[in-house]
Amino acid sequence: MKSIRWGLLFAWAITAGVSAAPAGVDPLQRLVEQPSAWSTFDWSRNAKHEVFQSKSWSRLPDQKDTPITYERLLIAQGETWKASWWLALPNGTDVTLGISRDVPSDECSGLAQQFGKAFGQPIYSDETMGGPDKVMLNSKAWQWTIGTTRLTARCFGLTMSSDEKAPPSVLNISFRSAALAPVLEPVFLLRCSRLVHPFDGAHDFKFEDLVIWVFKERRTVMAPSRTVVASGDGVRINDDTIAFNLVKKEGSSRYAISRLTGDLTGETVAADGARWAISGTCAKENPVKKF
């Protein structure tokens, strides 16, 4: 079981114009140890930049429909990091560079924030999700935009359901052109009123509020406990709409929420075939901005 959980953690972690460096200095080490240099990084040169030309990089075997990827070890800040960079398909011009290393779980958040401290207030997102066997997949993300570069730091870890000791967390830091990297949208909590309209002509009645976490980047909807209730093809989240399907033993429901007005519409079909239309209004819990 322990090996499965380790594999789950690392699979999850892998799955989000600098002047020439002085002779003998690793250009990537210089950027990691002086990250303010990313503010003028020339992303237009893509893979031709000196950072990506080091002979230390090893190209991984090509796989169909996956980016061309290179890896190496990096010694920076007195620590050993695993570094990688890849070219996005199909045009091969969008470069992303990432570095990662294992860190104690109770230190990861502090190290991530320290890395970007010089760049001001970050966008922050708590992306924790419920996993199998009551294991919590802990993920927290911080993002800064530094001139030409968008820097995203993430901590990945596990909270065990028993007394079993959790493995170290993984600190992952990625760098990508600010013109291409999406702005981080924090996971947010919605509360929606629900008014049920029976199709058989019975009187409308109020139902308990629908409360959900919305995780746009992973196309995931979660219960208040962070348990996943809808994901993948059953979820559509864009700037205008949040749409998802919920399937339970008692029946299935489909909902659509306007991100422009907060209006909720939906329909429920019970296991016995009974059907209801649903309407309501949604708002962020403790809103910081209009969702």
Residue 263 pLDDT more than 90? yes
- What confidence tens digit (pLDDT) does each residue in 65-96 have? 778 899 999 998 889 999 999 987 555 678 99
Secondary structure letter of residue 121 according to DSSP: S
State the residue range of the domain holding 192.
188-284
Pairing of strands 123-126, 95-103: unpaired
Domain boundary among the residues 142, 177, 212 is at 177
With respect to residue 183, please indicate whether it lies within any of the assigned structural domains: no
Same domain membership, residue 118 and residue 10? yes
Same domain membership, residue 194 and residue 154? no
pLDDT bucket at 55, cuts 50 / 70 / 90: confident
Q: Return the half-sphere exposure (C-beta side, CA atoms, 13 A cut-off) of residue 274.
A: 10
Q: Distance between CA atoms of 46 and 29, rounded to whole angstroms?
A: 18
With respect to residue 289, please indicate whether it lies within any of the assigned structural domains: no
Q: Distance between CA atoms of 98 and 174, rounded to whole angstroms?
A: 4
Secondary structure letter of residue 166 according to DSSP: P
Residue 258 pLDDT more than 70? yes
Query: Contact 10/170 with Cβ under 8 angstroms?
Result: yes
With respect to residue 47, please indicate whether it lies within any of the assigned structural domains: yes
At residue 77's C-alpha, the angle toward residues 74 and 81, to 5°, is 30
With respect to residue 109, please indicate whether it lies within any of the assigned structural domains: yes
Q: Distance between CA atoms of 140 and 108, rounded to whole angstroms?
A: 9
Residue 267 pLDDT more than 90? yes
